[in-house]
Amino acid sequence: MVKSMNSNKQHKKVSLSNSGECRVVFCPDCGTLEINFGTSTIRTNYESLQVLSSVLNHAKVRLAKIHDATAGNDTTQQVRRIGRVH
């Protein structure tokens, strides 16, 4: 008997998270993580997911601050204007 059963084994992917057009799929057989976002697919691993997660979170916080400033008194533009005086 040839030991070919293992290599022929189908990789059963597990859906870790699913929200609208964003989906994270994990393959326990090879440890691959797939992030499906719209038509894009990012192949990654656990470590990269941790990095991506914290980077996205950081970007989200910073964007919220910028958005607040813009939605409020347009402070970013005022700062820019002040900077351009003389």
The residues of the shown chain that bind Zn ion, judged by CB under 5 A, are 11, 27, 29-30
How many other CB atoms sit within 10 Å of the CB of residue 25? 16
The residue written with tokens 């607040």 in the block is 68
Smaller CB distance to Zn ion: residue 11 or 84? 11
**Structure-block tokens of residue 32:** 């691959």
Smaller CB distance to Zn ion: residue 30 or 85? 30
Question: How many degrees, rounded to 5, is the angle at CA 34 between CA 29 and CA 37?
Answer: 160
Smallest separation (angstroms) from Zn ion to the CB of 37: 20
Smaller CB distance to Zn ion: residue 25 or 52? 25
